[in-house]
Amino acid sequence: MRSREPRLWSNESGASWHRVGRLVDANGIAQTVMAQLTGGVFLTGFALALGAGPLAIGAISAIPLAAKGSQLFLSWLVERAGHWKQAALSCAIIARGAYLFIPLLPFLPAASNWRVGSLIAVLIAASLAAAVYELAFLTWMAELIPEPLRGVFWGLRGRNAGLVGIVASIVAAALIDRGGPSGGGNPARFAVVFGTAAAIGLGGAAFIRLLPTPRRQHSREHPAAMRNLLSAPVRDENFRRFIGFSALWSFASGSMAPFYMVYLLRQLHLSFVIVTLLTALTNILMAVTQTHWGRLGDHFGTKPVLRVGAYLIGLTPLVWLTTAPGRAWPIVLVQVLSGVGWSAFHVSQNNLALKLAPERRRPSYLALFGAVSGFAEGAGPIAIGGLLSLAGGNEIPGMGAFRFLMLGQFILFAAATFAPGWIMEPGGRPVGHLIRVMARFRTMDTSRPISLVFEYGYTHLARVADMIALEFPRDAETL
């Protein structure tokens, strides 16, 4: 929605908002298409087609996340060398080009573990390069985009890329389903999808090269020794609280991510097209609501928006518990809650990390955030895969095991929702204040009975949110 973007804004490099936005859009679309076609249900389905068991599925899902741990060391190199554009471009090419090897996997011997092992090797190489790209790109964009505009900017980018990714994933799912039920165990069709995704991702790297280079390409102070540099965010008490919350939340969300896909394909016996359409519902809701959440975050602060998203996401495991073979319709409610919730969460979490990180030490702060979150999110599926392997060997678990895991995830989510209460956001507002203001917007130009419903319903909901958040007295001092 270009009409809502500032028309006269330009950054210190002289690049206009519209030019930067169009280039980031083009790269983001290519990156999102590649991510959707090489992750989620496609990665899990490919692993199953190659004969992977629960532990291997957990490890495959964990690799891209755990690779972010390398940012602890790479942040020092990025901060020392600078030149964020060159680092982002070269690592994007390596990360996306590595997937071009995946179409070769179906030609390896099926009777050995070469297929699964080679897939893991490709993912490790691609994920390490992607970790450097993410760190350099975020640092670079922080120099180009002013802080007050980041919420709207990334909300618009996420919407545009998400809609294109939805169409691409549905087309790819239709191709997979032609191989038989649940993909038919035909790895060749997955190889075609992964190869096409890699080519699209590499094409998007060309737009990274066209993005402007900021005038400042190095830290404003000489990089310290790596030990001192990486210990700085740990000594920051407020940022340490943020890291603790991110770790707990990442572990809770990552633990079941690949196994929900296994549950849909093998327990509920849904086709790839149906699973992709359900995922598309989440992505559509994320795409159309990210801009609105971004604006709310720019106005009220990112933490209350993040907390609203966390509350919605935390309810999803309870809805998963109501599903069973022949009763898959509650998944639609899961996708609605996930779409609105993750939209608020994603658009806020990175912005909060940028907001809490001092400008002069931003790469090291972002590196610790990415590394801890990645390790925690990667440890989740490995832990679950190990438990399932101990219980049932290489076999896919039954309904009872899945229900136990869903209940465990709900408990972890519930515990994590309290943690942001100890994070101080400069200029932020309590989450209850956000809900009350939203209620007043909704009651404008409505009849009195509806106004009463919103007034009393939202008022009590806001009080409950403040009680859960444990932030009434603390945030009141910052207003």
Report the 3 state secondary structure along 163-182: HHHHHHHHHHHHHHHCCCHH
State the pLDDT confidence band at 233, using cuts at 50, 70 and 90. Answer: confident
Q: Are 349 and 436 within one domain? A: no
10-64, pLDDT tens digit by residue?
Answer: 444 445 667 777 777 788 888 888 988 998 888 888 888 887 888 888 888 888 8
Q: Are 172 and 261 within one domain? A: yes
Task: Determine, yes or no, domain membership for 453.
Answer: yes
Q: How far is CA 368 from CA 232, 354, 364, 373, in A?
A: 10, 12, 6, 8
Residue that finishes a domain, picked among 428, 453, 470: 428
110-122, pLDDT tens digit by residue?
Answer: 666 788 888 899 9
Q: Are 347 and 471 within one domain? A: no
| pLDDT value of residue 477 | 35
Task: Determine, yes or no, domain membership for 275.
Answer: yes
Task: Determine, yes or no, domain membership for 353.
Answer: yes
| pLDDT value of residue 456 | 43
Range of the structural domain that residue 463 is part of: 429-479
Calculate the average pLDDT of the chain. Answer: 76
Bridge partner residues of 16 (DSSP): 10
Instruction: State the total domains in the chain.
Output: 2
DSSP secondary structure code for residue 16 in this structure: B
The helix/strand/coil state of 10 is: strand
What is the gyration radius of the CA atoms in the chain, in angstroms?
A: 22
Q: Are 285 and 375 within one domain? A: yes
| pLDDT value of residue 197 | 92
| pLDDT value of residue 251 | 93
Task: Determine, yes or no, domain membership for 9.
Answer: no
54-110, pLDDT tens digit by residue?
Answer: 888 888 888 887 777 776 666 666 666 556 777 788 888 999 999 999 888 888 876
Residue that finishes a domain, picked among 402, 428, 454: 428
Task: Determine, yes or no, domain membership for 3.
Answer: no
| pLDDT value of residue 149 | 62
Is residue 14 left, alpha or beta, with left meaning phi > 0 and alpha meaning psi from -120 to 50?
left
Bridge partner residues of 327 (DSSP): 324
Least confident stretch, 128-137, 317-326, 331-340: 128-137
- The dihedral of CA 180, 183, 185, 189: what is its sign? positive
Q: Which residue has the higher pLDDT, 426 or 133?
A: 133
Residue 436 pLDDT > 70, yes or no?
no
Q: Extract the tokens encoding 419.
A: 């943690």
State the pLDDT confidence band at 134, using cuts at 50, 70 and 90. Answer: confident
> How far is Cα 77 from Cα 94, in angstroms, rounded to an integer?
18
Residue 370 pLDDT > 70, yes or no?
yes
> How far is Cα 227 from Cα 206, in angstroms, rounded to an integer?
35
* Angle formed at CA 96 by CA 94 and CA 97, multiple of 5 degrees: 65
Q: Are 186 and 289 within one domain? A: yes
Closest by CA to 293, choosing from 340, 350, 250, is 340
Residue 443 pLDDT > 90, yes or no?
no
| pLDDT value of residue 472 | 41
244-285, pLDDT tens digit by residue?
Answer: 899 999 999 988 988 998 899 888 988 888 998 998 888 888
Task: Determine, yes or no, domain membership for 2.
Answer: no
Say if residue 468 is exposed, middle or buried (CB neighbours under 10 Å; 0-12, 13-18, 19+).
middle
* Total Cβ atoms within 10 A of residue 86: 15
Least confident stretch, 25-29, 221-225, 402-406, 433-437: 221-225
Q: What CATH number does the domain containing 397 carry?
A: 1.20.1250.20
| pLDDT value of residue 248 | 92
Can you say how many angstroms the Cα of residue 153 is from the centroid of all Cα atoms in its chain? 17
* Angle formed at CA 118 by CA 109 and CA 116, multiple of 5 degrees: 70
Q: Are 365 and 437 within one domain? A: no
Over residues 291-297, the mean pLDDT reads: 75
Q: Are 143 and 173 within one domain? A: yes
Q: Are 330 and 257 within one domain? A: yes
| pLDDT value of residue 429 | 56
Closest by CA to 15, choosing from 90, 85, 78, is 85
| pLDDT value of residue 319 | 95
Closest by CA to 239, choosing from 72, 426, 77, 64, is 426
Over residues 188-208, the mean pLDDT reads: 89
Over residues 336-354, the mean pLDDT reads: 86
Tell me how many helices (H) and strands (E) the chain has. Answer: 19, 0
| pLDDT value of residue 4 | 46
| pLDDT value of residue 330 | 94
> How far is Cα 34 from Cα 346, in angstroms, rounded to an integer?
19
Q: Are 214 and 73 within one domain? A: yes
State the pLDDT confidence band at 442, using cuts at 50, 70 and 90. Answer: very low
| pLDDT value of residue 229 | 60
Q: Are 405 and 445 within one domain? A: no
Residue 186 pLDDT > 90, yes or no?
no
Task: Determine, yes or no, domain membership for 1.
Answer: no
Task: Determine, yes or no, domain membership for 60.
Answer: yes
| pLDDT value of residue 154 | 62
Q: Are 294 and 441 within one domain? A: no
Q: Which residue has the higher pLDDT, 184 or 28?
A: 28
Q: Are 162 and 176 within one domain? A: yes
State the pLDDT confidence band at 166, using cuts at 50, 70 and 90. Answer: confident
| pLDDT value of residue 99 | 92
Residue that finishes a domain, picked among 413, 428, 443: 428
Residues in the chain, total: 479
